[in-house]
């Protein structure tokens, strides 16, 4: 490592999950960071992450990963981490109105992501998918037919306003990066539903393509730092849930 | 009304729901506000709220209630509204570290509240409880036995650190008010589970009592502005889910 200050990201080492929203911002910003749980023990690894989670750190311990260490700060909750990083790396609107709007969109993305997760875990995150398969099928049907179109056409409207280049403000923000990640995950998990929805969300899909084509994001996606999608992750492809 | 500037809160007129977290902050702050959907048509009522939701307002329309109008701003997502109101009414920590910590706790409260909601609606919010009763029973068991204790003992630890007077910082914040509301809702919905948990969360329960005893909150709770809990709301008491 160089001697410039760096961030420490703490997240599960084998999945994209919610940590990926933070990784994408750090990669686009070219911010130096350590993905701590993916480093070797004893300074890295899941053990190092669990130690910080259990340590009450002045009553400031996170409830769950991801969390980010920046100097003496330990910041958790994905949207909160992005609200911290965005303005520091020119990835958030400059004014108060824009920042509030960015957080509003980010928190709505977080709601969509949680609902996508709950399609395969509608009963308990502590149980296997196989133990809640019947319930998952019912929940996924409601997600695919009602919730997913409602969320995505909402974001399409937000994007279609004005110049349609960015979800908020006049330049790239963490919200655009999060939308890219969300659409990527939805395409992986629900290819049929997304193909069906495509004609209704042309601007969102074009935004996602633009993000994927940005030089730093493109390099990141091609690197080993980008973990593959899988059925251990937040977005899972179970064909029976994509009807 | 006086001629001082006032806020406009938009939320469903017959439930506490997520709007209540905003109402409590406005009441404690003695901030002048209109609870628009509870006012008579045509300037108030649900119709006035739906108009703003459909109006794309420069691409800034909220996804769902609650939302707050403050001057030219329309702010949505509960935690985002509180992050806006807190510093304006001396109900948030002064420094950046404290504000990040407050949002982290608030977003974790929001996660708990969503999981409490999903105990009675594990399949689809668009369906009646009666249409997802079997699944609700399974989800509620996991909530009561695993998730609820995990969340509440986490908050108890956060509160027990230091002087144990407030969840964050050295004076009352929107996080304390939200914790009061959450505990009130949980007591209503899960009286058995909460009685069982009580010995593990003495500081949280004492905090909740202190909030309920504050003069403005006490007056609010006794007023007609405070809506009753009900089985149309976020927190619902179904004895079969409280085992």
- pLDDT tens digits for B3-30? 456 999 999 999 999 999 999 999 999 9
Instruction: For tokens 């998918």, name the residue.
Output: A129
Question: Against a cut of 0.90, is the pTM above it?
Answer: yes
**B59/B130 same-domain check:** no
Chain A partners within 8 Å of B149 (Cβ): none
> Is residue A203 less than 8 Å (CB to CB) from chain B?
no
Q: Which two tokens stand for residue A181?
A: 């990640």
Give dist(CA B226, CA B188) in Å, integer.
Answer: 15
- Check pLDDT > 90 for residue B55: no
CB-CB neighbors (< 8 A) of A160 in chain B: 59
The pLDDT value given to residue B5: 62
Contact A82, A106 (CB under 8 A): yes
Name the helix (H) or strand (E) containing B75: strand B73-76
Residues A96-110 pLDDT 10s = 999 999 999 999 999
Chain A residue with CA closest to B78: the answer is A104
Is there a domain that residue B64 lies in? Answer: yes
Residue that the structure tokens 């091609």 belong to: A222
- Choose the mutation target among B80, B106, B152, B158 for the interface with A, i.e. most A CBs under 10 Å: B80
Rg for chain B, CA atoms, rounded: 18
Together in a domain, B137 and B54: no
Predicted complex: ipTM over 0.90: yes
Phi-psi region of B64 (alpha: psi -120 to 50; beta: other; left: phi over 0): beta
Q: What value, to the nearest 5°, has the Cα angle with vertex B239 and ends B227 and B217? A: 25
Q: Of the candidates A80, A103, A135, which has its C-beta nearest B104's C-beta?
A: A80
pLDDT in tens, A40-76: 998 899 999 998 888 766 667 899 999 999 999 999 9
Whole-number Å distance between alpha carbons of B100 and B94: 11
Give the β-pairing of B73-76 and B67-70: antiparallel
- Distant-in-sequence, close-in-space partners of B82: CB < 8 Å, separation ≥ 6: B21, B22, B25, B106, B174, B178
Q: B-chain residues within 8 Å CB-CB of A101? A: 60
In this predicted structure, what is the pLDDT of residue B234?
A: 97
Cα separations in angstroms, A164 against A39, A211, B65: 40, 14, 25
CATH number, domain of B19, equals 3.40.30.10
Q: For residue A242, count CB atoms less than 10 angstroms from its CB and return exposed for 0-12, middle for 13-18, buried for 19 or more.
A: middle
Q: What is the pLDDT of residue A59?
A: 61
* Co-location of B123 and B156 in the same domain: yes
Window 180-199 of A, Cβ < 8 Å to B: none
Residue stretches of chain A with pLDDT short of 50: 1-3
What's the pLDDT tens digit per position in B147-188?
A: 999 999 999 999 987 667 999 999 999 999 999 999 999 999
Ordered DSSP codes for A86-120? HHHTT-S-SSHHHHHHHHHHHHHHHHHHHHHHHHH
User: What are the strands, taking DSSP E only, across chain A?
Assistant: 7-10, 33-35, 67-70, 73-76
Domain span including residue B113: 96-214
- In the predicted model, what is the mean pLDDT of chain B? 94
Beta bridge partners of A33: A7
**pLDDT score, position A53:** 87
B207 and B102 in a single domain? The answer is yes
What tokens were used for B213?
A: 């005893």
A58 in reach of chain B (CB within 8 A): yes
Residue B206 sits in the same domain as residue B100: yes
Token look-up 């974790």 returns B108
Look at residue B161 in the predicted model and tell me its pLDDT: 77
Query: What pLDDT, on a 0 to 100 scale, did the predictor assign at position B136?
Result: 97
Which residue from A189, A137, A62, A10 is spatially nearest to B158, judged by alpha carbons? A62
Question: Does the residue A165 lie in any domain?
Answer: yes
Count up the domains in chain B and report the number.
Answer: 2
- What residues form DSSP beta bridges with B67? B10, B76
Residue B105 lies in a domain: yes
Which of B123, B157, B159 has the CB atom closest to A122's CB atom? Answer: B123
Question: By the CB < 8 Å criterion, does A161 face chain B?
Answer: yes
CATH number reported for the structural domain that contains residue B191 in this entry:
1.20.1050.10
Rounded Cα gap, residues B29 and A100, in angstroms: 21
Please report whether residue A14 resides in a domain.
Answer: no
Domain boundary among B34, B68, B88: B88
pLDDT score at A105: 97
- CA separation for the pair A185, A191 (Å, rounded): 10
For residue B1, the model assigns a pLDDT of: 40
Cβ A87 vs Cβ A79: under 8 Å:
no
Chosen from B55, B60, B155, B204 to mutate, greatest number of chain A CBs within 10 A:
B60
Burial of B24 (0-12, 13-18, 19+ CB in 10 A): buried
Name the token pair of A126. Answer: 């502590």
Q: Which of B33, B53, B88 is the last residue of a domain?
A: B88
* Interchain contact, A80 vs B146, CB within 8 Å: no
CB distance B160–A59 less than 8 Å? yes
Q: Is B232 within 8 Å of chain A by CB?
A: no
Between CA B236 and CA B119 the distance in angstroms is 9
């Amino acid at each position: 490592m160089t001697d410039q200050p760096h961030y420490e990201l703490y997240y599960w080492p084998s999945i994209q999950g919610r940590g990926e929203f933070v990784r994408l911002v750090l990669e686009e910003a070219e911010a130096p960071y350590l993905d701590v749980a993916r480093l070797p023990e004893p300074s890295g690894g899941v053990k190092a992450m669990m130690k910080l989670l259990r340590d009450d750190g002045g009553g400031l311990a996170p409830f769950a990963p991801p969390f980010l260490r920046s100097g003496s700060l330990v910041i958790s909750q994905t949207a909160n981490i992005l609200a911290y990083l965005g303005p520091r790396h020119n990835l958030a609107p400059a004014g108060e109105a824009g920042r509030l709007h960015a957080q509003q969109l980010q928190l709505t993305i977080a709601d969509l992501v949680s609902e996508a997760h709950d399609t395969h875990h509608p009963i308990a995150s502590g149980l296997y998918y196989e133990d809640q398969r019947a319930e998952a099928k019912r929940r996924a049907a409601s997600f695919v037919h009602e919730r997913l179109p409602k969320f995505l056409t909402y974001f399409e409207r937000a994007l279609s306003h004005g110049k349609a280049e960015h979800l908020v403000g006049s330049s790239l923000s963490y919200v655009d990066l999060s939308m890219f990640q969300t659409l990527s995950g939805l395409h992986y998990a629900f290819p049929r539903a997304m193909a069906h929805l495509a004609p209704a969300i042309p601007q969102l899909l074009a935004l996602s393509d633009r993000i994927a084509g940005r030089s730093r994001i493109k390099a990141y996606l091609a690197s080993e730092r980008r973990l593959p999608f899988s059925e251990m992750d937040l977005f899972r492809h179970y064909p029976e849930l994509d009807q």
